[in-house]
Structure 1
Amino acid sequence: MMGTAPAAARVDEAAFQELERSFSGRLVRSDDPAYDEARSIWNGSISRFPALIAYCTGVADVVAALECATRGGLPVAVRSGGHSFPGQSLCDGGLVIDLSAMNGIRVDPVNHTVRAQAGVLLGALDRETQHFGMAVPAGIVTHTGLAGLTLGGGIGWLMRKYGLTVDQLLSADMVTADGGFVTASENHEPELFWGLRGAGTNFGVVTEFEFRLNPVGPTVLAGPILWPLEEAPHVLAFYRDWITDVPDELTTIVVHRKAPPLPSIPPDLHGRPVIAVISCYAGDIETGEEVLRPLRKFGTPLLDLCAPKPFLQHQSMFDPSFRPGWWYYVRSCDIERLDDEVIGISAAHALQLTSPLSTCNIFHLGGAVARVGEDETACSGRGVGHTFNINGNCFDAEGFDEERAWARSWWSALEPYHAGVYVNFLMDEGEARVEQAYGADKLRRLRLLKKEYDPGNVFRSNQNISPAA
């Protein structure tokens, strides 16, 4: 059924026709039969009605769309993969600059670099780079957009060995709020380059990235080991002690959830509440087997699926659990350490799981992430131990209020231990939470940068940083 756009969600006809004459991509208005499909995004709980969706094919289209929005006083949202939890790639009554058609990738295997346009999804980037036995550390779900992930930091399976996605960034091309064009790197516009690496959605439309490539795989030792959820206190206590001296080649995520109905999981475990430690050892397989041996021997696991496999296969393992169109809600926080109180809180709230889609994922940081100085990039939280991602998810609206309340309750119980937050895991939570993501000193610096590149706050459909007064 086609959605009904609010009356305000219209583009002035003269402005539309002028844009149409100079635009090479596809333009979708609210009366277009494709409108409902065009305004849909990954998080099905978000429903917004933009006046116009502009599918750009290059920089000229981005500039033309931006000029149209500016002349008409329309809000602007920028969409790459449309994968943000709060749905900031859509706006009511405004213009969506959609970059999905800008999806070119060019690998330079000699210099170990890759150029990728802003519409690229992580799975496509992985396929191209793994052909040459290399990768950019980037995320855990392959249909995530590269642009949004990168500009907020970029945690993923390779981060402890190589760092965050932004730590691989060599340069970025950007269209500014006034329609200008700039390339930022360490040697050119270095202050902008600093800000793009963690708060980049605030300053313009990044159209292309250049990344450093790292040798990976193509085979890694990876996969989940599952225990009954009732054993969570013991598993977490062992895990806390075990990870204190694991090598950087190992990145792990602890997951609390009901076992999903996947072919790799025996039917008698489907729907059973479990705690899993999912590993990715991006190094010598035999060495990885020795590193993981204590984990595999702990307690009595229900299932051990950790095995040598293609990195591409491991990168897509979460895809079935985060399908487009389901309803997603997240509360997140950084935690210094999994002390006994944090473990107790987590184990108690995990037992209250009801939805088959709700999860709590605990990312182990450190390693290469922590070796980048806190002030070297806008991305913060370099020294914390873990990032909690508490998802209250449902297939649709049924039960969604209860799952959101469950996620908020767990997050609130952890509040005495909060040590910041990863900006890509924020919902629409207000200025105070944005400040928590960056810290007061960085935020002052970012506000000055915002004043220089976007003084009118054109780019505000994001975790917004207001321009300095």
Structure 2
Amino acid sequence: MEMKLSLDGLTGKVVTPYSKEYEQARQEWNRAIQKFPIIIVYCYAVKDIQNAICWARRHGIGIRIRSRGHHYQGYSVGTGVLVIDVSYMKRIELDESNGSVFVQSGIKNREIYDYLGARGYPFPGGTCPTVGVAGYTLGGGWGYSSRYMGLGCDSLTALEMVDYQGNLCKADDNYNPDLFWACRGAGGGNFGVVTSMTFQLPPKVTRVTLVELEYLNAAPATMACFLDIWQEWLVSLDQRMTINVSMYNSAEDGMGIYGKGLFYGSAAEAAQILKPFELGGATLSLQEVTFLEAVQKIQDAYPDSEKFQSTGRFVNRKYSMEEIEAIVELIRQRADGSVYTAVSVYALGGKINEIDKKCTAFYYRDAAYIMGVQSVWEEDRYASVNRCWLNERFQCLKQLTVGSYINFPYNCLANYEEEYYGGNACRLQQIGRQYDPMNVFSFPQAIQ
């Protein structure tokens, strides 16, 4: 890749295709994504972001915004673009007097958990340790505390953002409230570059119960029975419990069911709540630990990277047994080269649906749960067949669900704004035109 542009005006750490760290710097967590930006600017301060925006506009080069590089479709990078990477902006400030925590946008889940957990506080963050708190929150933010504390965006009280002109603006309920509304659920990359966020602190907790549920060598009939119980169980579920479960087909372990989550209560209470899942072959593990110990155990199970295609949809009704069996059938046969495939369910409800769907940009608050499908492969030659495999199954799920979760994006969506944002899409388009009238922050599936 030939570089003829002058880098004058850029500040921070500037990486180009000629830099020794370029190959690693351009990589996303999903190694199935291979894009080749012309410049990556690692920003240490707001001024670095402002300079990068002005430089890119002056040279007519597209911009992508990246925190920790976990976008499923890789929209935080691109070929021939400038990537504004905020992962070096890592300040955290705790203000216990007013019950808030300030974080810069380079902070990842593990870092906020370690910081607050060491001080006795939980945090309604995500599950994967290297996901950025900013991107997670901007997309709504589902995690293992969501039913008890709300989505990640529900604890957000203010943010700062650099706009298309390079100006730093604040957004909260009093300043730019429409922008603040939009940033709670409309996904990262839209409107501008978020530099920091302020969250309301949850109350301290001493112990939580880490939940693990497993069925090894589960027959399709067991999976169908599980999903039928799941949809009934959620209706009156104690909001202190948040869990997700995967029905999987693994090249190494065969077919099975595995679930994990948190309960803000005792192991004895959790055992009673989970009794309906005591099907044949079930193994239940319940550990009373500190919040920090629980999230560390959860996060340690994640690989450093994967090659995958995945998506997630919202479920707002109960399924007949015939429909459930069709869902289970989706993973009976893996694609060629796939080492793992799964249909996964993520519990909603509780605090999530106590907020009206029009109060933030996150629209699908009345859904019962998210249902996702994924395939993981290791060899590049199998990428195409796995993506086709997933698309076929996506078409089946689409008939059974109501919309797509922006933090589990899918590049094959038709009418993606309606799918991601439902009845909030029109207002988001208006806000996009107001705060980014030149369409500077454009990327595949950006708000238009």
Contact 1:450 1:465 in 2 (8 A): yes
Once the two structures are aligned, what percentage of the paired residues are identical? Answer: 27
Question: 2:194 maps to which residue?
Answer: 206
Contact 2:122 2:292 in 1 (8 A): no
Deviation at 1:430, TM superposition (A): 5.1
The answer to whether 1:249 aligns with 2:240 is: yes
Give the residue type in structure 2 aligned to 1:308.
E
Match among 292, 306, 323 for residue 312 of structure 1: 292
Structure-2 separation of matches of 1:176 and 1:83:
23
Deviation at 1:319, TM superposition (A): 4.4
Match among 414, 418, 431 for residue 449 of structure 1: 431
Question: 2:401 maps to which residue?
Answer: 418
Give the residue type in structure 2 aligned to 1:327.
K
Change (3 A) 1:109 1:290: farther
Residues 26-77 of structure 1 show CA distances to partners (whole Å, capped at 9, x for unaligned) of: 1111111111111111010111111111110010111011111010000000
Q: How many residues align?
A: 441
Structure-1 separation of matches of 2:238 and 2:169:
39
Contact 1:256 1:275 in 2 (8 A): yes
Question: 1:346 maps to which residue?
Answer: 327
The answer to whether 1:388 aligns with 2:375 is: no
Deviation at 1:343, TM superposition (A): 1.6
Contact 1:99 1:119 in 2 (8 A): yes
Give the residue type in structure 2 aligned to 1:457.
N
* Contiguous gaps of at least 5 residues in structure 2: none
> Which of 183-192 and 395-404 deviates more?
395-404
Deviation at 1:316, TM superposition (A): 4.6
SS at match of 2:380: coil
Structure-2 separation of matches of 1:383 and 1:356:
34
Structure-1 separation of matches of 2:96 and 2:379:
44
Contact 1:393 1:400 in 2 (8 A): no
Change (3 A) 1:395 1:310: farther
Contact 1:332 1:388 in 2 (8 A): yes
Query: Superposed, which structure 2 residues align to 1:77-156 within 5 Å?
Result: 77-156=64-143
Question: 1:176 maps to which residue?
Answer: 163
The answer to whether 1:229 aligns with 2:211 is: no
Structure-2 separation of matches of 1:127 and 1:259:
32
Match among 440, 457, 461 for residue 443 of structure 2: 461
Match among 343, 353, 358 for residue 370 of structure 1: 353
Change (3 A) 1:300 1:105: same
The answer to whether 1:17 aligns with 2:4 is: no
Question: 1:162 maps to which residue?
Answer: 149
Give the residue type in structure 1 aligned to 2:111.
A
* Contiguous gaps of at least 5 residues in structure 1: 261-269
Contact 2:212 2:259 in 1 (8 A): yes
Question: 1:265 maps to which residue?
Answer: none
**What is the alpha-carbon root mean square deviation over aligned residues?**
2.1
Give the residue type in structure 1 aligned to 2:256.
V
Deviation at 1:459, TM superposition (A): 0.8
Contact 1:157 1:280 in 2 (8 A): yes
Give the residue type in structure 2 aligned to 1:51.
I
Question: 1:360 maps to which residue?
Answer: 343
Structure-2 separation of matches of 1:151 and 1:300:
41
Residues 224-280 of structure 1 show CA distances to partners (whole Å, capped at 9, x for unaligned) of: 2112331101122222222221210011212122479xxxxxxxxx61320123232
Residues 341-376 of structure 1 show CA distances to partners (whole Å, capped at 9, x for unaligned) of: 442122112322463333222111111110110100
Structure-2 separation of matches of 1:154 and 1:223:
20
Deviation at 1:148, TM superposition (A): 1.0
Contact 1:42 1:326 in 2 (8 A): yes
Question: 2:269 maps to which residue?
Answer: 287
Structure-2 separation of matches of 1:352 and 1:215:
46
Give the residue type in structure 1 aligned to 2:66.
R
Structure-1 separation of matches of 2:344 and 2:236:
21
Change (3 A) 1:235 1:54: same
Give the residue type in structure 2 aligned to 1:429.
C
> Which of 110-119 and 204-213 deviates more?
110-119
Scaled by the length of structure 2, what TM-score is found?
A: 0.93
Give the residue type in structure 2 aligned to 1:78.
I
SS at match of 1:252: strand
Contact 1:54 1:98 in 2 (8 A): yes
Structure-1 separation of matches of 2:445 and 2:293:
32
Contact 1:171 1:211 in 2 (8 A): yes
Change (3 A) 1:394 1:38: same
Structure-1 separation of matches of 2:311 and 2:347:
17
Deviation at 1:313, TM superposition (A): 4.0
Structure-2 separation of matches of 1:347 and 1:316:
31
Contact 1:123 1:142 in 2 (8 A): yes
Residues 315-353 of structure 1 show CA distances to partners (whole Å, capped at 9, x for unaligned) of: 355546653442121132111134124421221123224
Deviation at 1:426, TM superposition (A): 1.1
Structure-2 separation of matches of 1:178 and 1:11:
25
SS at match of 2:119: coil
Contact 1:136 1:168 in 2 (8 A): no
Residues 116-169 of structure 1 show CA distances to partners (whole Å, capped at 9, x for unaligned) of: 100010110111111222233111111111111111110010110111011000
Contact 1:44 1:324 in 2 (8 A): no
Change (3 A) 1:358 1:313: farther
Change (3 A) 1:398 1:58: same
Give the residue type in structure 1 aligned to 2:232.
D
Change (3 A) 1:61 1:92: same
Question: 1:193 maps to which residue?
Answer: 180
Give the residue type in structure 1 aligned to 2:172.
S
Contact 1:11 1:51 in 2 (8 A): no
Scaled by the length of structure 1, what TM-score is found?
A: 0.89
SS at match of 1:328: strand
SS at match of 1:393: strand
Structure-2 separation of matches of 1:203 and 1:39:
23
SS at match of 2:137: helix
Change (3 A) 1:107 1:284: farther
SS at match of 1:229: coil
Question: 1:266 maps to which residue?
Answer: none
SS at match of 2:361: coil
